[in-house]
Structure 1
Amino acid sequence: MLPCVHCGESTLCQADQDPSEVFCCTGCLGAYQLIHGWGLDDFYALRDQMRKTNSARAAKESGRYEQFDSSEFLGASAPTNNADGTCSTELALQGLHCAACAWLIEKAAARQAGLLEARVKMHRHTVQLTFDRNRIKLSEIARFLDRLGYSLAPFNPDENEHYRRESRQHLVRIACAGFLAANAMWIAVALYAGEAATLAIEHRYFMTLVGTALGVLAVAGPGRTFLKGGLAAIRNRTPHMDLPIALGLTVGSLVGGWNAIRGSGQVYFDSLAVLVFLLLIGRWIQFRQQQRAASAVDLMLRITPRHCQLVQSDANTESAVHTVPVEMITPGDVILVDPGESAAADGVVCKGVSSVDRSLITGESLPVAVAVGDEVAAGVVNLSGPIHLTVTAVGKQSRIGRVMQSVEEATTEKTPIVAMADRIGGYFVCAVIVLAGITFGRWMFTDLATAASHATSLLIVACPCALALATPLAIAVGLGRAATAGVLVRDGEALGRLSKPGYMWLDKTGTLTEGKQRVTEVRGSSEALELAAVLEKTPKHPIARAIRAHAEQLGILSEEETAERVEVVDGGVIGVVGGHRLCVGNEALVTEHTVQYDPGLKEFASKLVAAGTSPVFIAVDAVVKCVLGVSDPLRPDAQSAISKLKQAGWKIGILSGDHPAIVAALARRVGLDQTECFGGLTPEDKLERIRGAQASDPDASVVMVGDGANDAAALAKADVGIALRGGAEVSLQAAPVFVANGKLASIPLLIQGSTATTRLIYLTFGISLLYNLIAVGLAICGVISPLIAAVLMPISSASVLAVTLAVRTFQTTVQE
């Protein structure tokens, strides 16, 4: 039975008939005659090619999910047998965004035979599957969900579980403390109002006991975390900010409870409950900030692919390609990297020739040619021909994995400012405790209750909240105003570092430049450029995209005309367009295929090289007809930003993976000292430069401004890392500052705002210190009671808040 010429369906025609005249119906015959009559027979060639492509893609996707039937691959996510003969498993779900996604998955699963239930857990981004092994395979379920737009992956229940558990504990404590504080305040309001309205003594006594019980519950329940912290500080003999808080809460509870029982004295239970509630909120915010820092493994998974194509050869030298998870490949395996894909592991090219984009690793703006024997790192994007790699390192052992390890180590190092803050906090805690003891000893000979009251007043009024609020509040307001200007600062410590001038190192690609190749200069025949744009329609090379974009901008890009033959080679592209043989690429390529140049083009190319621009030659029929200058353009605000930074006292340099000649040319354009501008650097080289600058002047701030994953280690190691828009996510995790608007002009604004914020910190810190000195003195002298102390404590915080909001720090508009 032969297939229909038009639709491909089976017909009743026998094999002895002419296959070019076989049709399943008159409709297909009429469609064929119409297409043939119009001269559109290429439709059938395109159709057959598309069928082959779709078949290959389907086979590739099919192989991708075969491993879901393997317990070794699933690990802890392997299905478990239920009592009713079904199986259950929990898998990570990618692509989940909202409740509508969960509804779609659960409803669609009900229509899949053998899939009994799919329960989506939004908070964990997982799906709980219950299915019948005898009716459907897990790989089929994975393929079904993939068609819906959601990808499955093995889920480790223990991964990040401690973060989720601790977050839940924080929220439960806050909820309980809020409930107790609200009710304690209602009772306090009733008591204060009832006192003026002559509330009956027995009613006042009963409400006092109930309010005291609520306050004690708040301290002993949700506030237990502070008591544990204070007890741990005593056991370890290490001063901790929780210690005076714990002492104040303990003494306040004991004295307040005793006064409530005996029916006289102040019982500030409402203040205790509210204090616990506010302290817990602050503790939860701190925990959330710490949780945002992703682990090195998570960062690496966001950069490198989760799956790769494993090449397996048999005895007949025939090879088969299977899509497998990266976790299943080991050194020595051979993987296939198609054009447009990124390498999943470090390896050495064992077959094929191509050009690769290494900007993620080295920051090089131009593609690099690779052939057999060349090394390719994980995360590198293949641009032209398919290549086979012999794997040398996977995961944490790969080059990008080692960079991530450096990021993790650098972010855990304690800065001098943090260490100094710890010492000041320790001294403050010790001073408060000693003064409280002195106050108790001073008054105990007069009256024990009076001594306890004055000591409690001191502990409450000198609570580190007011002193500790000054710096974070000033930083928080500064960060909010910086965000309005398009600068997101993750770590307030960075503002202090940026307030004093030092060394600032800038990456080139994507930082000083736009990060995209563009045609900046043209000399020669426009017809040659038009032919080259047609030839470059297929390749995915950045320079090919630049030529097409420039031709489209000039209005000479032909949509109908196509190249008769295209061959991507080392150094460029060769092919035939409109009967003309074209060669587009670097000088070495055109020299191999060219006999002469049009007048002046060779000299023009030499000038481009001297100016730091890459020349691209267009040869038509063995004659160079046109030369293009292709470069990564300088950001429009680069020169003004660098000028302002230099005026502010910063020493500016460039650290780049690009060619040293290009870096030197760029340094001349922006007015930088070429001896402080380095090219051809690896990520490890950049890290060493940062360390060298820190060692040469420990008191100066060392800042790194980058825009790629290759800068991640340097961004993390620098005193302050600044990532611009467009950088890899790992850079944003490693850098405490993110310029969301992508403007270099925002960096001088950040410097000015950091200086103003630092001054504000000193001002608010001085106000807080003055308050503590006066309040502690009054408490020692017995002038203020615990109730007045509880009132003064929020007043001091309010004064700091008022001053902070009144002072302007950051400009909210960027002037380029």
Structure 2
Amino acid sequence: MDSLEVPEHLCYHCLLDIPKHSNFSVLIDGISRAMCCPGCSAVAQTIIDSGLHNYYRHRTDNSASQSLDLQSLVPEELALYNSDKVQGSFVNSSADGLKEATLVIEGITCAACIWLLEHHLQKQPGVQSFSVNMSNHRAQISWQPGEIQLSEILTKIYQIGYRGHPYRPDIEEQLLAREQKRAMLRLGVAGVGMMQVLALAIALYAGDFQGIATGTEQWLRWSSFIICTPIILYAALPFFSAAYRDLKTRHLSMDVPVSIAIGGAFVASAWATISQSGEIYFDSVSMFTFFLLFGRYLEMQARHRTGRAGNALQNLLPQAAIKLMQDDQGDSIEQLISAAELEVGDRILVKPGQLIPADATIDSGFSSIDESALTGEYMPQQRSVGEAVVGGTLNVENPIQLTVTHVGSQTQLSAIVRLLERAASEKPKMAKLADKVANYFVACVLLAAIVVSISWYFIDPGKAFWITLSVLVVTCPCALSLATPTALTTATGNLRQRGLLITRGHVLENLAQCTDIVFDKTGTLTQGNLCIEKTIAADPQSALQIAAALEANSEHPIAQAFRFYLQRSADNIAVTLGEGIEGFVQGKLYRIGKPDFSAQLLGKELVYSMPEQDGHWLLLCDESQIIGWFLIGDSLRPDSKFCVDTLKQLGINVHMLTGDSSCSAPLIAAELGIERVCAGASPEKKSQYIQTLQHQGAKVLMIGDGINDLPVLAGTQTSIAMGSASDLAKTHADAVLTSGELAVIAQAVLLAKKTNKVIRQNIGWAFGYNMTALPLAAFGLIPPYAAAIGMSLSSLLVVTNALRLGKNIIDKQRRNP
């Protein structure tokens, strides 16, 4: 028996909640134990197969939790990640023999943590690259398996105080929920405590000016001490834990000076309360803790939003699949299995309306495949025997039998995920510089405080501690840290009211320097919905009604263009895949579809002439004559032309980059005056196109809406998703055009230039204030409370200057370009 009782609703291996409809299990000590996912199932099975039964028999609450002792963990669990069976679900092997994986790193608090992790891991023999994305705490790693094992890499991460584990969407969802719950609780404790301590502090400050009884003053001091204690011991615990971890690894992050300032002020205030001498700063301690936690909570929310988007991308694949098997008599039977159990070579059945569970080729049948979830294009593609289909796409019309060709990390969907993760992990120069500066800045702050403390210890020991606190408060770069985000927040609020939602702080800075803007076509420059642009017929209304009757029961997007004209019914409908539809309307046989297909109904060779206007034309005819022609297209957005013309007037190069390979792409580009066009582009080709521009020195803005745009949106210096885009595209873009008005983009460029000017003013003031106040505090001319007031006034000036961006700058710029 094991010493840990595991409830039935928890995974027997990782002790996290088991998702609904999960049916994974492993036989352990003769008992079937429930697992939450294929990863845990594979790890548990490997543990049993390796003869490590004692792992489950003797584990305790602590050993089963995420705080396992490193020495006991390495041989029994981390070593299991070296198994090919375990690695199959998250490790990809490249052509040059390297292995690649995505890890989630727990314990990261600031840019200095990123710097430490990357430098420590990149020095290990066999590790080719290791890059951490600050926004979602995921690491992209590639290594040479002949020189280092994955378990050794995970051990190196543990040794410097962090925890790494393979990225699995289902497990990460539960971890994100737990992290958010803990953060909310800490923030609530700090917030409630801060309000109470501030109320008591107001009474103490009033007593300093008007007088206060000694007993009342001591009661207020002790009350503040008691209320502030849980703030320190619980709410501020992450700061102290991170600082302790950093000091053990001889590494400095912002948690070190923050912990010194908060802890030092609390200890000094506690001593002043107990000894009934000196000043107390419980109000400052509670405020510092609350606002620091609030800032990190906002950062965590943004990180969770990005993480959940990546999880949703993985969840495009269905949970179940219909596997075709043979019974004892050799007859084919259908068996519903988990999609995670599919292997290369399995034969599966996909019915109309079902998602394809893995990359495969068609063995039997033909159908239209809706690939819009991956390509962003609205037209389903016809697929027949021998052709390949992609996992995550939708079978539209007919049942098809497939043979699986790729599963797990080898599917095309996984390749898109890797492109996305790789693009997100590539850091601009400013981000790399910030990682380096973070380390040295903290060291300079601590060095200055130490020098001041030692100097005043010899000058006047009684003042040394309080003057050192003043220095720590003054060097806290509040105004400097507010200089950029406050201006960006005000400007983004202005743009949000006009329909452009900015989700990344670097957008406005990059927009001001933008030299090239790249548009996707479908859903960006166009409306993204098929419509009937033109009808040529003797009786247009009757022709539209007949066509609508024929298309009424079709799920093809073209059929949706006729839905407004449906007034009649059709019988004996027959669909010819990729060609068109025929049927009887009021007893008369009609055909609609490609011209060659429809003309065959006439029963004789007919020489017909296509309409002069280029485009996608459908022909409707009966058995004796042509009834009408329909031009099907995707209409332009009303302000597309205005937007392109305005951007060109600003000296910006405009490009069109689309996956559509039809003749409509060059036609739309010509209509809008776009000279740079790349049509029929795959996600990889789109990324290469953008990278080429950026390597040539261009500052690129990408605007798109499809999931196929995700890698290029993430890899572009700045990206905007349309309001009608998929949730995934919106989440991975730097901004979302919620109004759908492309003219707002040109307006945003104008506001961005003004924002950069305000940011430079704010940084200049904040830096000047710190350089002036630091020596004054070091000479004892600024007490701690004055340092706090000065810091607040400096921050207020920065905020006031930034608020000017909330005025109607855009309208003024439009009137006076």
Q: TM-score, normalised by structure 1?
A: 0.74
Q: Is the 8 A contact 1:535 1:575 kept in 2?
A: yes
> How far apart in 1 are the matches of 2:570 and 2:744?
45
1:480 and 2:493 correspond? yes
Deviations 1:745-783 (A, max 9, x none): 232233333333333322322232222222213212321
What's the counterpart of residue 47 of structure 1? none
What's the counterpart of residue 609 of structure 2? 602
Question: Counterpart of 1:331 in 2: which secondary structure?
Answer: coil
Deviations 1:495-539 (A, max 9, x none): 322221132221111111111111112223435544333222222
1:534 to 537, 549, 565: 549
Q: Which moved more, 1:569-578 or 1:425-434?
A: 425-434
What's the counterpart of residue 690 of structure 2? 690
What's the counterpart of residue 580 of structure 1? 588
Q: Is the 8 A contact 2:365 2:401 kept in 1?
A: yes
Q: Is the 8 A contact 2:570 2:583 kept in 1?
A: no
1:208 to 180, 200, 221: 221
The amino acid across from 2:804 in the alignment is A
> How far apart in 2 are the matches of 1:568 and 1:476?
55
Gaps of 5+ in 2: 1-18, 38-167
Residues 528 and 227 (structure 1), Cα distance of their counterparts in 2 relative to 1, 3 Å cut: closer
The amino acid across from 2:567 in the alignment is S
Alignment of 1:35-46 (within 5 A): none
What's the counterpart of residue 400 of structure 1? 413
Q: Is the 8 A contact 2:755 2:805 kept in 1?
A: no
Q: Which moved more, 1:213-222 or 1:806-815?
A: 806-815
What's the counterpart of residue 561 of structure 2? 546
1:638 and 2:640 correspond? yes
What's the counterpart of residue 569 of structure 1? 577
Residues 395 and 586 (structure 1), Cα distance of their counterparts in 2 relative to 1, 3 Å cut: farther
Question: Counterpart of 1:633 in 2: which secondary structure?
Answer: strand
Task: Give the count of matched residue pairs.
Answer: 664
1:185 to 198, 205, 214: 198
Q: Is the 8 A contact 2:599 2:621 kept in 1?
A: no
What's the counterpart of residue 629 of structure 1? 631
What's the counterpart of residue 380 of structure 1? 393
Shift of 1:313: 4.6
What's the counterpart of residue 125 of structure 1? none
Gaps of 5+ in 1: 1-69, 93-154
Q: Is the 8 A contact 1:296 1:405 kept in 2?
A: no
Question: Counterpart of 2:175 in 1: which secondary structure?
Answer: helix
> How far apart in 1 are the matches of 2:22 and 2:295?
42
1:75 and 2:24 correspond? yes
1:291 to 300, 304, 307: 304
> How far apart in 1 are the matches of 2:629 and 2:667?
20
Alignment of 1:41-120 (within 5 A): 74-75=23-24
> How far apart in 2 are the matches of 1:372 and 1:194?
88
Q: Is the 8 A contact 2:382 2:577 kept in 1?
A: no
Q: Is the 8 A contact 1:300 1:401 kept in 2?
A: no
Shift of 1:475: 2.2
Shift of 1:488: 1.9
> How far apart in 2 are the matches of 1:364 and 1:286?
34
CA RMSD of aligned residues (A): 3.6
2:621 to 616, 619, 642: 619
Deviations 1:315-371 (A, max 9, x none): 767544455443343333333333344323222111222233333333444332221
Residues 532 and 204 (structure 1), Cα distance of their counterparts in 2 relative to 1, 3 Å cut: closer
Q: Is the 8 A contact 2:309 2:731 kept in 1?
A: no
Residues 322 and 545 (structure 1), Cα distance of their counterparts in 2 relative to 1, 3 Å cut: farther
> How far apart in 1 are the matches of 2:731 and 2:282?
43
Shift of 1:665: 1.5
Question: Counterpart of 1:704 in 2: which secondary structure?
Answer: strand
Alignment of 1:254-293 (within 5 A): 254-293=267-306
> How far apart in 2 are the matches of 1:298 and 1:405?
13
> How far apart in 2 are the matches of 1:741 and 1:470?
29
Mark the structure with the bigger radius of gyration: 1
Q: Is the 8 A contact 2:520 2:657 kept in 1?
A: yes
What's the counterpart of residue 761 of structure 2? 763
1:431 and 2:468 correspond? no
The amino acid across from 2:351 in the alignment is D
> How far apart in 2 are the matches of 1:518 and 1:76?
51
Deviations 1:407-451 (A, max 9, x none): 123223333232333344444433333332333344333201223
Q: Which moved more, 1:189-198 or 1:495-504?
A: 189-198
> How far apart in 2 are the matches of 1:318 and 1:173?
62
1:344 and 2:357 correspond? yes
What's the counterpart of residue 148 of structure 1? none
Residues 787 and 260 (structure 1), Cα distance of their counterparts in 2 relative to 1, 3 Å cut: farther
Question: Counterpart of 2:527 in 1: which secondary structure?
Answer: coil
What's the counterpart of residue 713 of structure 2? 715
> How far apart in 1 are the matches of 2:606 and 2:638?
34
Alignment of 1:218-229 (within 5 A): 218-229=231-242
Residues 751 and 227 (structure 1), Cα distance of their counterparts in 2 relative to 1, 3 Å cut: same
Q: Which moved more, 1:713-722 or 1:290-299?
A: 290-299
1:705 to 683, 703, 706: 703
Shift of 1:653: 1.0
Question: Counterpart of 2:724 in 1: which secondary structure?
Answer: coil
> How far apart in 2 are the matches of 1:593 and 1:308?
40
Q: Is the 8 A contact 1:584 1:617 kept in 2?
A: yes
Q: Is the 8 A contact 1:522 1:628 kept in 2?
A: yes
Residues 179 and 547 (structure 1), Cα distance of their counterparts in 2 relative to 1, 3 Å cut: closer
Question: Counterpart of 1:628 in 2: which secondary structure?
Answer: strand
1:558 and 2:567 correspond? yes
Residues 156 and 506 (structure 1), Cα distance of their counterparts in 2 relative to 1, 3 Å cut: closer
Shift of 1:724: 0.8
1:199 to 201, 205, 212: 212
